[in-house]
Amino acid sequence: MQWPSSADEARTRLVAALTAVGRGDRAALRQVYDMTAAKLFGICLRICGERASAEDVLQTVYIKVWERAGQFDATRASPITWLSTIARNGAIDWRRSVAGRAVRDTLPEQAAFAVADDSLRADQSLVAAEEGERLHHCLDELEGRTRASIRAAFFDGATYAELAARENVPLGTMKSWIRRGLLRLKDCLGDG
Amino acid sequence: MDDHLTPAEERDALAAELALGLLEGQARADALRLSLSDPEFAALVAAWEAKLAPLHGEWADAQPGDAVWDGIERQLVDAPADKVTAIETRLRRWRAGALVSGAVAAALAFVLVTQPVPAPMPAAPQLAVARIESDAAGPLVLARYDQSSGLMQLRIHGFKPGALAPELWVIPEGGAPVSLGQIGHAGKAEMTMPPPHRLLMTEGATLAITMEPVSKTPHSAPSGLAVASGKIITI
């Protein structure tokens, strides 16, 4: 699938396709899939840590998109954010499930983290750049380990217990870091 | 560790924890329950998702296998020919489940019926009603419950037929959600509540609907946020 040169045009096409999915248009779902599957699979793979499970989760994600597209409101959320949130929540649901925990127990230590921070890239084509700068500025204001832990929670789907083990601090300390960090982040973003 | 957070900060931190996915086990179930029964808390969770949304620009792409789309396409369900057929199909599924074993039958919270239940109607029925709705122009379910006969009647509007089915939950004040089973996507339905569940149908309890994978038995906990909810009012 070739991207149109303009990010606005891509967004407009995605909104139109999602709107059509909301009316029960299967061909439009295929269009949404072609435009977004690589991104959403990236999310599932990073959080699940393993291809087969990530592909299972990706299927349920697009079924949810099919079910919920009628609720998508382009005036309230960007389409790629809306889709990414469904994918991330689906992958985290899997990670917290009995099956997810069983599969992850068989993975090598740190396998999920090994999906590589250095492969992260700033794909701003569909995400508003300005809001991104503000969030990154506010994250940079936080203490280093707090910032790293919040990022690991977001990108790896790590729990408090996993983060505490990773930073080698008591669970209560990790909770305190993150809760205070999140409330400081909110103050910094300043939009209530 | 004592964080000295105000109750409002505690609540906001909990919403952030749920949005980030930090919680597990009982803490996660409790927070999900709160987001189902309390629209203000659900709005806090959505606000945190929006605050963190710019991070979605950083994921590395990855190509799924070709079989993934085929799997999705197989699970798509077109709109059924008519609403009654959908409810009857569901009824047959539920009854099939109930016949599998006594244990499964016992686990069924109730069985959807398309025929009126010949329940003895006392002279002065005690009624409870609930309007189960979303904040947008989404699905709407009107529930009417006769406490003397245990008969619940539903009018269901606006669910799109598909692989996920609406599942009805009753959430007692301060309690965990209890599944009342899955309902049709549209039309009318009637069900007779088993006695243990009748005790939950009290003033102030919440009825909520989540979209869940089709199941012959009620799920033990919701897998996502409510698409519609409303408080029970007794008349």
pLDDT tens per residue, range B134-144: 866 678 888 88
B147 Cα to chain A: minimum distance (Å): 34
**pLDDT tens column, B1-14:** 456 789 999 999 99
B199 Cα to chain A: minimum distance (Å): 30
- Please report residues of A whose CB lies closer than 8 A to that of B78: 24
Domain with B46, as residue range(s), is 7-58
- Fold exhibited by the domain A128-192: Arc Repressor Mutant, subunit A (1.10.10)
Please check whether residues B120 and B37 belong to one and the same domain.
Answer: no
B65: in domain: no
Sign of CA dihedral A23, B214, B26, B106: positive
**Interchain CB contact of B5 with A (< 8 Å):** yes
Strand partners, B165: B212
pLDDT band at B90 (very low <50, low <70, confident <90, very high): very low
More confident residue, B95 or B32: B32
**Interchain CB contact of B66 with A (< 8 Å):** no
B218 Cα to chain A: minimum distance (Å): 17
Domain boundaries defined on chain A: 1-118, 128-192
Closest Cα partner for B5 from A166, A146, A178? A178
Lowest mean pLDDT among A24-38, A54-68, B27-41, B118-132: B118-132
**Interchain CB contact of B53 with A (< 8 Å):** yes
CB contact under 8 Å between B160 and A67, yes or no, is: yes
- Please report residues of B whose CB lies closer than 8 A to that of A78: 53
B64: in domain: no
Average pLDDT over residues B18-43: 90
- A 2-21 residues with CB below 8 A of B? none
CB contact under 8 Å between A135 and B16, yes or no, is: no
Please check whether residues B11 and B91 belong to one and the same domain.
Answer: no
CATH number listed for the domain at residues A1-118? 1.10.1740.10
Q: How far is CA B120 from the centre of its chain?
A: 29
Interface test with B, best of A11, A55, A81, A98 (most B CBs within 10 A): A81
B70: in domain: no
CB contact under 8 Å between A119 and B223, yes or no, is: no
Strand partners, B154: B143, B189
Quote the number of domains for chain B.
Answer: 2
- Please report residues of B whose CB lies closer than 8 A to that of A51: 65
B108: in domain: yes
**Interchain CB contact of B17 with A (< 8 Å):** yes
pLDDT of residue B215: 77
Please check whether residues B45 and B95 belong to one and the same domain.
Answer: no
Please check whether residues B89 and B199 belong to one and the same domain.
Answer: yes
Instruction: Identify the CATH number of the domain in which residue B107 sits.
Output: 2.60.40
Contact call for residues B221 and B167 (beta carbons, < 8 A): no
Please check whether residues B221 and B138 belong to one and the same domain.
Answer: yes
B156: in domain: yes
pLDDT mean for each 10 residues of chain A (192 residues): 65 94 92 97 95 94 91 89 95 86 71 42 51 89 95 95 95 96 94 50
Token readout for A47 is 């959080």
Please check whether residues B82 and B53 belong to one and the same domain.
Answer: no
SS3 B116: coil
- B 86-145 residues with CB below 8 A of A? 134, 136, 138
A18 Cα to chain B: minimum distance (Å): 15
Select from B49, B69, B211 the Cβ nearest to the Cβ of A67: B211
**Interchain CB contact of B7 with A (< 8 Å):** no
Query: With 70 as the cut, is the pLDDT of residue B78 above it?
Result: no
B209: in domain: yes
With CA atoms as reference, the chain A residue closest to B79 would be A24
- Please report residues of A whose CB lies closer than 8 A to that of B134: 71
CB contact under 8 Å between B22 and A159, yes or no, is: yes
Maximum distance among all alpha carbons in chain A?
Answer: 51
pLDDT of residue A118: 35
Closest Cα partner for B155 from B183, B116, B119? B183
Token readout for B87 is 């409810």
**Interchain CB contact of A54 with B (< 8 Å):** yes
pLDDT band at B42 (very low <50, low <70, confident <90, very high): very high
What is the complex's ipTM, to 2 decimals?
0.87
**Interchain CB contact of B173 with A (< 8 Å):** no
Please check whether residues B148 and B222 belong to one and the same domain.
Answer: yes
Please check whether residues B134 and B208 belong to one and the same domain.
Answer: yes
B173: in domain: yes
Half-sphere exposure in the Cβ direction for B100 (13 Å, CA): 14
A1-118 and A128-192 agree in CATH topology: no
**Interchain CB contact of B1 with A (< 8 Å):** yes
B67: in domain: no
Most confident of A100-109, B20-29, B177-186, B218-227: B20-29
With CA atoms as reference, the chain B residue closest to A31 would be B69
Q: How far is CA B227 from the centre of its chain?
A: 8
Please check whether residues B19 and B119 belong to one and the same domain.
Answer: no
With CA atoms as reference, the chain A residue closest to B164 would be A67
Encode burial over A5-27: b for 16+ CB neighbours within 10 A, e otherwise.
eebeebbebbeebbbbbbebbee
pLDDT of residue A109: 56
